[in-house]
Amino acid sequence: MELNEWVFVGAFLAIAWTFPLAPILANYFLAPSRPSRIKRDTYECGVETVGDTWVQFKVQYYLYALIFLVFDVEMVLLFPWAVAYNELGMFAFLAGGVFILLLLEGLVYAWRKGALEWS
């Protein structure tokens, strides 16, 4: 009887691997491949590139993106908490407060380190 339960798990895993791999393999074997120099050129906004196409970006862009991501995830996690606020008990209130305080601590740390300064 126990073997029958694992048959469903095995079938699920086989299907879970088949669905994403089938289109990738179909594209690899069925898609036409006609490489040329023009297709390998770097395309940027319809303008031919001049000079080196590998450009290093300032670290500030990444820092702002990471800080935005942190607070975006914070909103996603706090929205259900705020919607169900009236039905929550004291433990949920304290857990939400600790979560907000930890994020504020991260913001103060980034601020004091100068990560929010654009120079």
Query: Per CATH, which fold does 2-113 belong to?
Result: Methane Monooxygenase Hydroxylase; Chain G, domain 1 (1.20.58)
8 A C-beta contact, residue 78 and residue 97: no
Tell me the mean pLDDT in the region 18-39.
90
To the question of pTM greater than 0.75 for the whole model, the response is no
pLDDT tens for each residue of 81-94 = 888 888 888 898 89
pLDDT tens for each residue of 34-80 = 888 877 776 667 666 676 767 777 777 887 888 888 888 888 888 88
In the chain, where the domains are located: 2-113
8 A C-beta contact, residue 81 and residue 100: no
CA distances from 18 to 12, 15, 26, 32 (A): 10, 5, 12, 23
Q: What's the pLDDT score for residue 17?
A: 95
8 A C-beta contact, residue 42 and residue 75: no
What is the maximum alpha-carbon separation in the chain?
68
